[in-house]
Amino acid sequence: MNVTVIGSASAASPEERALRDLYVEHGPALYAYVLRMLGGDTHRTEDIIQETLLRCWAKQNLVDDEGMAVRPWMFRVARNLVIDGHRSRAARPAEVGGAGWLAELGGEADDIERMLSSIVLRDALAALTPAHREALQATYMADCTTQQAAAVLGVPQGTVKSRVYYALRSLRAALEERGMN
């Protein structure tokens, strides 16, 4: 299967070769110009470049004649396409992001969810042994080190560490029993 793309080196007509040469000569500068106008949006930049070249092809404005300079014309067409795109987006109502309205709607649900989670957590903490519950309260809830908690509880630091370890394992299991992962 032999496919010839418009503007490729194997293009049959001189117009197609001229379009390719035009792109090779002016494409990088035009790309940089449009990319700067679009704030780095490469996808839209490529669309603008393609549309500019298609308009150049449709006008048969492929070579620099004495009366017509192609490069300024191409830059003007690209600039106008960017402006038209901006105006058409500004004329439409602003698009709503997927998470914005959901976050506003979920504000009340978050409060209820937080309250239900705290009830389940309180119930799971009540299921722990008193020694484990004290170790968690002295470390995590009081925001103390294991050394400080050991001084408060009157037990060695190693005992506090092991109680916290086993308390967290028991708490995780109790939360899973209650449907919280």
Per-residue pLDDT of 43-91, as tens digits, reads: 999 999 999 988 888 877 655 555 457 888 899 999 999 999 988 888 8
Distance, CA of 118 to CA of 27 (rounded, Å): 61
Q: Contact, 165 vs 136, CB < 8 A?
A: no
Token look-up 């708490």 returns 171
Q: Contact, 77 vs 55, CB < 8 A?
A: yes
What phi, psi does 165 have (nearest 5°)? Answer: -60, -50
Check residues 18 and 154 and name the one with the higher pLDDT: 154
Q: Contact, 34 vs 46, CB < 8 A?
A: no
The pLDDT value given to residue 5? 47
Distance, CA of 52 to CA of 63 (rounded, Å): 15
Q: Contact, 131 vs 163, CB < 8 A?
A: yes
Token look-up 């117009």 returns 15
What phi, psi does 85 have (nearest 5°)? Answer: -65, -40
Structure tokens at 93: 């109502």
The pLDDT value given to residue 2? 43
Query: Which class for 138: exposed (0-12), middle (13-18), buried (19 or more C-beta within 10 A)?
Result: buried
Per-residue pLDDT of 125-175, as tens digits, reads: 899 999 999 999 999 888 889 999 999 999 999 999 999 999 999 999 998
With both helix axes pointing from N to C terminus, report the angle between 157-177 and 146-153 in degrees, rounded to the nearest 10: 100
User: What are the residues whose beta carbons fall under 8 Å from the beta carbon of 10, sequence distance 6 or more?
Assistant: 4
Distance, CA of 88 to CA of 80 (rounded, Å): 12
CB atoms within 10 A of CB 19: 21
